[in-house]
Chain A
Amino acid sequence: MIAGRVSRWVQWLISAAVLLICGAAAAAVVMFTQPYSALRSWLIIAVILLAAAGLVYTGFFWRSCRFRLTDEYIEFQSGILYQITRRIRRSSIMAVTQIYLPFPVPGISSLLISAMGGSMLLPMLKSEDVKRISQALLPEQRNEEVTKQQDD
């Protein structure tokens, strides 16, 4: 069995998005409220609290994003308040697509598992996890690895 978590980059990217949204909200508060008013103070405190809550949540969210590859199926679980578990039988997997990020993040890529009836995305995996899953799913890569080990 192969099991693991997605890369920490998931957390960093979601945190960046949370900070961006909260920053925009804070700017809007500053622009559209009276200076030194109680309303502005309360709204800014609320935005800061929301940002902090968002940042904490992303940490837990990252911990909840797990995958598992067994002899029978591949499974991906995510979410805390609303947990989703996606599972695909290995016998119904038809294609495996490795997706690289548009910006150069070393050692990170996603896997799209296409199967009869739907597909499943394993987002932002570490390269060693991608390699392990690919080796398990794709016979040729496994053969290449075995040949390399024999050569060594």
Chain B
Amino acid sequence: MIDIRKYSRQHPLAIIDGFKQYIALLLVPLVRSLLLFTGDPYSWLRGVWLDVLALTAMVAAGLLRWLYIGISVRDEQIVSCCGVLLPKRRHILFDNVSSVTVEHTWYFKPVKAVRVRIETDAGNRRAPDVKMLLRRQDAEMLCSRLSAQLAGESGMVRRYEPRGWYVGILSLITSDSIGGAVFAATLISQSGKLLGQEAEDRLITSLTRLMRLAAFWLPPAAAVIGGVLLGGWLIDFVLNLVRHLGFQAVRRGGELYIRCGIVTVREYLLSAERVHFLQLRQSILTKVFGYYAGMVSCTGYGKEKNEQSVLLPAVGRDDLRRSLSLILPELRPAPNRWRPPLRTLWRIIWPDLLLNGVLLLGWRAAWRWLPSLRELVVFLGMMMVLPAGWHLLGRLFSFFHTGIGRRQDTFTFRAVKGYRLFTVVCRADKVDKIVITRSIFQKQGKCADLQIWLRSERRTCIRVANLEMQDVENFLAELEEACAVLKQHAPDEVFGDLG
């Protein structure tokens, strides 16, 4: 059986951390009833005995769990044990660790507790391989041992710290109304659960009054919708900003260290060798202004709720090359070598051109024949022509962006999803599957779409549209050749050997 004395235990706060949400639900009525205590303990206990019993059972279960969970960092591996009824001991070699996340949650800072997640490329996609609430010194020891292993003998430290407004641009790009609205809704409903229905009602009434004051010249329904969208977006923007301010990335040998956040500080220790791919994202607006947001796919990084796998919050064209050669020189984008032929451009844009033409003609006709409704015609025409024009612009950008490039053993795939432009850079051996699809029109035009499935924690597929068949064949031959070269040069990766 497992001798738990050989392992470092979790922080004692882990006893209640596992069910803190239920404890809050139980503690609030208990404290409230304590405040209303009249001096008769018997009658008080008669009112709250069920809450006291549930709380005691939870703490007892937490204590039992805490007693049987431990972690030990040895020369070449991390050993963790857990389980009361079904004891488990897990061995993870340092070489196989993809990422370690250390989360300094603000309310754990005074008691020096940190949340640690250890991830490998194996295991459950939704849960980390090891997740513990450790003492800060234990987490530091684990990170320093792993860091020494990853960094090797390389003493050169390369640091990237973006300017504050770059983080602002990232928050601007990644914020959405839904995230903020969900956060606000959760906050309101949780406040109702914890502080009572009266407090929730009061909060909603105040919000409604605020909405009325803010939107005195708008119809109430429009004001509510506008308020929810704008308020949600603003909340999400602020949350994203707080999460990513103070961002820095440091590269030392095979170690990629990322730190971000000002209230809850998160530190990530990634194995650069296990980074699956680099993804550069652009919207049409940021494309016009020449900005990129860089994300990396590495198991465990950006996996939790509200986290993003950011590597470069926002960089201009010139900064991109400089920053990447500093912190991730293995994955630098290459210019397109295979791109859709110009003859396919017409096939892509003719429906949009037709739609725009019809809309413009219709607008002109309505303007001419309905002089009494000109104000309405101008408004409706704008509302229809602008999105159609934007879509056409998106199509044009998409055509000139799409393509595949190669630099030594890395490939760069450029594709478009909706109005977002993606540039994905990965090593040849990280391509898991390629699907070639052709419609009747593409068969006539000797073109094909490529679906490229990449190795990552979430299934990632990039669709490179309308490449020439000859180019597709050339790309496949080069990919195969690059894979063969990588296989030849790969170290003899065997999990231990039979000695």
Interface, chain A (partner B; CB < 8 A): 1-2, 69-71, 90-102, 104, 112, 114-117, 119, 134, 136-140, 142-143
Contact = CB atoms under 8 A, between A and B. Distances in A.
A97 B499 contact: no
Interface secondary structure of A, over-half rule:
mixed
B85 to A, nearest CB: 5
Contacts of B89: 97-98, 100
B121 A94 contact: yes
B264 interface: no
Interface secondary structure of B, over-half rule:
loop
A90 B122 CA distance: 13
B411 to A, nearest CB: 20
A137 B122 contact: no
A100 B87 contact: yes
B129 A139 contact: no
Contacts of B90: 95-98
B88 A71 contact: no
Nearest to B75: A140
Interface in B117-132: 120-123, 129
A115 B122 contact: yes
B76 A139 contact: yes
Given A138-B77, A139-B93, A139-B496, 19 more contacts: A90-B495, A90-B496, A93-B122, A94-B122, A95-B122, A99-B83, A99-B87, A100-B86, A114-B122, A115-B122, A116-B455, A117-B122, A136-B496, A136-B499, A137-B496, A139-B77, A140-B74, A142-B496, A142-B499
B88 A100 contact: yes
Contact of A100 (B2, B76, B496): B2
A71 B74 CA distance: 25
A102 B85 contact: yes
B91 A99 contact: no
A143 B87 CA distance: 25
Contacts of B498: 1-2, 69-71, 136
Those 4 A-B pairs whose CB atoms lie nearest each other, nearest first:
A94-B122, A114-B122, A94-B120, A93-B495
A7 B206 CA distance: 68
A99 B82 CA distance: 10
Contacts of B87: 99-100
B129 A95 contact: yes
Given A119-B122, A138-B77, A94 B96 contact: yes
B53 interface: no
A95 B123 contact: yes
B70 to A, nearest CB: 14
B493 interface: yes
Nearest to A72: B494
A134 B498 CA distance: 11
A71 B121 contact: no
B440 interface: no
B36 interface: no
Nearest to A99: B88
A98 to B, nearest CB: 4
B1 interface: yes
A117 B433 CA distance: 14
Contacts of A97: 88-91
B497 interface: yes
Nearest to B1: A100
B76 A116 contact: no
10 contacts: A2-B498, A71-B494, A93-B495, A94-B92, A94-B495, A96-B90, A98-B91, A100-B1, A112-B88, A143-B75
